[in-house]
Amino acid sequence: MINSRLKTILRELMSVKTPLTGAYLANLNKVTPRTTREDIKMLDDLLRMHGARISSLMGRGYQLEVLDDQKFRSFLRNLSAAEQDSAPMPPKTPEERIKYIIRRLLLCDDYLKLDDLAEEMYISKSTIQNDFKSVKKILNDYGLKIIARPNYGLKVTGSELKLRFCLAEYLFDRDDQKEMLLEPPISFLQKKELDLIFHIIMKQLKQHHITMPDIAVNNLMIHMAITIKRIKDGYSIELYQKEIQEIRKQKEYQVAKDIAKEVEKAFGIQIPPAEVAYITIHLLGTKIISRAGGEAEQMIDGEILRIVKAALAKIDEDLKLNIEGDKELILGLALHLKPAVNRYKYGMNIRNPLLNDIKKIYPLAFEAAIIAGLVIGKETGTVIDENEAGYIALHIGAAIERKKMKSQPKRCLVVCASGHGTAKLIQYKLKSYFGNNLDVAGTSEYYNLQQMPLDDIDFIISSVPIPDSFGIPVLEVNAVLNESDLKKIEHFILKNSQSRKNYFRKDLTFLGKRFRSKEEVLEFLHRTLMEKGLVKQNFLEFVYEREKVAPTSFGRIWLPCLIPSLRRAKKHFSPFAPSKNPSTGARNPFSWSSCSAS
C-alpha cells in the first residue's frame, strides 16, 4: 500500500505547519532528489484519494494540505492497522540497500537486472547505480567480480571459497552480536535444522575436549549452514590436493571429519574431502580456548611464543608500558596469534564490531596493538589489519588494567610535634579520606627521623617545618587537617602518580597555515622537524607505514604519528598545526593535526 520512504515523507509533512524542501526529504531518506520527486508524486496521488494532497510551493518546498479531515483520519487508522501485519519493509538507508543487493546477488543462481532490484527497493535507477559502486568495491575486497550480460543482467563470479566467506558476512547482521547468538537469521534453513547443526557441532567439540567462544561456535554453525545449502545447490569448494594434504595434518581435521560425517547422515548429502578441509579451515581460524584439562599452554608452540614476546618487547621499548612479563597477556596473545595467521593464510574475512569503541576508549592499547601487528607481520609474512589489531588491543588493554590494579599506592610517613594523639588523628584522617589510594606507613617525631628507614617512603606529611633534607618531598600541613590540607596532599599524589611532560613547544606550533592535503601537512612537518634535527631522514616512511594499518583520524582531528616512530625520532615532541582550510584526512576533513614521536 505504502512503502517506508513514503511513510517517512508523510510523517515529516504531518509534523510541521511550514513547507519542507525536497533536499531535506531526500537527505532524510538517503536518496536522490529525483527519487524524492517521484516519491512525492506517488504519495500525492495516494493522498488525493483519501482526503489530502501535497502542495508544491515555488521556492519553498512541499506542504501537506488536508481537504477532508474525517476521510484522512480514516486513512491514517487503516495505515496504522496494516503496519501491524505488514511484510518486512524494503531497505531504506544506503548501507541497508548495499547489504540487500549483495545478498540478492550472492543467493541468486541466475542473472539479476538492476531495474528489477531498484523496483524491489522502491528507488530510482540513479540511486541504485550509486549504491552499486559500493557493492562492486565490497565484492572486489572478497576477490569476487560482477559480470554483466546484455539483456540478462548481472551475476557474481569468483571462487566458491571467497563467495562463502562473503555470504557468511552479509547473510546476517554481524553488528547485532547478541541477537545473532540467540537466533541467527538464515532464511534458507528452518530453525530446527539450525538447531540440529548446532547440536552436532557441540557434540563433537565435547567429544574432542575443545572449548570455543560462543561467537566462534555460532560462526561455525553459520558456515556449516552455508556449506549444506551450496552442496545441495550443486556447488563445492575446490582446493589443490597439496592444500588438502597440508590441512589433513592438523589436529582440527579429525574434528571437522567427525562433524562432516554427522551432517551427511542428518541432511542426506555427501561432503567431499575438500569440504572437510573447508570446515577445518574455520576451526584453524578460531581461537580454541582449551582442550582436555584446559592446559592451554601445551597448545602453544615455541615459535608463536617467541613472536609474541618479541612483539611485547617492542611495545615496552616504544611505549614503556612494562607489560612484557604479564603471563596472562602472553598466553592470550599466543592463543590469538595462531588462528589470526591461519585466517590470513586462507583469506578468511574478519570484521571487528567493537573496533570503533576500542579506538575511542582504549587508544593506548590500540596503538600498542599496531606496534605488535607490525612486528607480527614481519615475523610471519602476514598483514595484521586494524580489525585484528582491535582484538589484540583487547588483550593489551586487559594487561594495562591489571597493571593498574597491581600498582602500589603512594607511601607516606606522618611527622607531628604535638604528641602521639595528634599524629594518630592525622593518620586516621588520611586513611578515612584516601582509603586504599594512600599507604600511611606510621607516625614519627621529628627528632626520630634521622633513625627512621625512609627507603620505601614516597613523601612526608608534617605539621612542623622540616629544615633537614632527607631527599624526600615534605608536605607541611596543620596539626588538625583541614580541607585545604587534604586537597594539597591529593594534588601532590595525582601529580606524582603520572609522568607529565610538556611536549608542545612554541617553535613547533604553526598557526594559520594553509594546507591542501594531508600529504602536504606531513611534508611540511617533516621538513621542519628535519631542519631542527628532531627526526631522521626516513621518519616519514614510518609515519606512512603506520597509516597503512589503520587511519589515525578521530572525527575532525588527525594524529598521524602516534606510533613512537620506531626510534626514528631523537626526542619527545608534538608539533601542532591547526589548518585554516581543513584538508581531507582518512574519511573526514581534519581541522588540525599533531605529530607525536619519542
pLDDT per residue over 350-387, tens digit each?
A: 778 788 888 888 888 999 999 999 999 999 998 888 88
Q: What pLDDT score was predicted for residue 571?
A: 52
Does the pLDDT value for residue 402 go beyond 60? yes
Residues 278/231, Cβ–Cβ less than 8 Å: no
Cell 547473510, residue located: 171
What does the mean pLDDT of the chain come to?
A: 81
Tell me which fold the domain 4-84 belongs to: Arc Repressor Mutant, subunit A (1.10.10)
| Distance (Å, whole) CA 420 – CA 27 | 74
The number of angstroms, rounded, from the C-alpha of 262 to the middle of its chain's C-alpha atoms is: 36
Cβ neighbours of residue 414 closer than 8 Å, sequence gap 6 or more: 423, 426, 427, 430, 440, 442, 443, 444, 460, 461, 462
Which pLDDT tens digit goes with each residue over 457-468?
889 999 888 877
| Distance (Å, whole) CA 538 – CA 418 | 64
- 177-293: which CATH number, 3.40.50.300, 3.40.309.10, 1.10.1790.10, 2.40.37.10? 1.10.1790.10
Percentage of the chain exceeding pLDDT 90: 27
Q: What pLDDT score was predicted for residue 499?
A: 47
Does the pLDDT value for residue 587 go beyond 50? no
Does the pLDDT value for residue 156 go beyond 90? yes
What is residue 408's three-state secondary structure? Answer: coil
Which pLDDT tens digit goes with each residue over 484-496?
999 999 988 877 6
Distance separating the N- and C-terminal Cα atoms of the chain? 64
Per domain, the residue ranges of the chain are 4-84, 94-158, 177-293, 300-386, 410-497, 506-594
Could you count the other beta carbons within 10 Å of the beta carbon of residue 82? 11
The least confident of 4-13, 74-83, 253-262, 337-346 is 74-83
Query: What's the count of helices (H) and strands (E) in the chain, helices before strands?
Result: 23, 12
Half-sphere exposure of 488 (CA within 13 A, CB side): 15
Q: What pLDDT score was predicted for residue 184?
A: 44
Cβ neighbours of residue 401 closer than 8 Å, sequence gap 6 or more: none
Higher pLDDT, residue 110 or 198:
198
Cell 615532541, residue located: 573
Q: Is the alpha carbon torsion for 254, 260, 261, 262 positive or negative?
A: positive
CATH number for the domain running over 300-386: 1.10.1790
The least confident of 10-14, 196-200, 515-519 is 515-519
As a whole number, mean pLDDT of residues 402-424 equals 81
Q: What pLDDT score was predicted for residue 181?
A: 40
Per-residue b/e over 113-143, b at no fewer than 16 CB within 10 Å? Answer: ebeebbeebbbbeebbeebbeebeebbeebe
| Distance (Å, whole) CA 366 – CA 565 | 15
Residues 171/227, Cβ–Cβ less than 8 Å: no
CATH class of the region 410-497: alpha beta
**pTM for the full predicted model:** 0.57
What is residue 580's three-state secondary structure? Answer: strand
Same CATH topology for 4-84 and 94-158: the answer is yes
| Distance (Å, whole) CA 7 – CA 192 | 36
**Whether CATH 3.40.50.300 fits 506-594:** no
Residue closest to 471 by CA, chosen among 481, 460, 485, 486: 460
Residue closest to 223 by CA, chosen among 184, 266, 261, 178: 184
Which pLDDT tens digit goes with each residue over 171-183?
765 544 444 444 4
> Which of the given ranges, 162-166, 209-213, 260-264, 300-304, has the highest pLDDT on average?
260-264
What is residue 513's three-state secondary structure? Answer: strand
CATH number for the domain running over 94-158: 1.10.10.10
At 479, is the pLDDT very low, low, confident or very high (cuts 50, 70, 90)? confident
Which pLDDT tens digit goes with each residue over 123-143?
888 889 999 999 999 999 889
